[in-house]
Amino acid sequence: MDSSAEYVCAYCGETNTTFVDWSAGNQQSYVEDCQICCQPNILYVRFGEDTLEHLD
């Protein structure tokens, strides 16, 4: 499975790419700064059996 995911910055609306750690569990939340405007975004990630689901 791919270890990268995309999210849209809550501040500037730009799409960002991030990497997720499959070994950290099937539900994760963390803060990542936008690659464009440097504002913090809270990311919620949940892994399904065969897919990666993004929760904004």
Are β-strands 27-33 and 15-19 bridged in parallel, bridged antiparallel, or unpaired?
Answer: unpaired
Tell me which of 54 and 21 has the higher pLDDT: 21
Q: Average pLDDT of 3-30?
A: 90
Domain ranges of the chain: 4-55
**What pLDDT does residue 46 have?**
83
**What pLDDT does residue 54 have?**
52
pTM score: 0.73
Residue 3 and residue 20: Cα distance in Å, rounded? 5
pLDDT tens digit string along 17-52? 998 888 888 888 999 999 999 999 999 988 776 655
Q: How many other β-carbons are positioned within 10 Å of the β-carbon of residue 48?
A: 8
Does position 12 have pLDDT exceeding 90, yes or no? Answer: yes
In a 13 Å sphere around the CA of 20, the CA atoms on its Cβ side amount to: 23
Residue 42 and residue 18: Cα distance in Å, rounded? 12
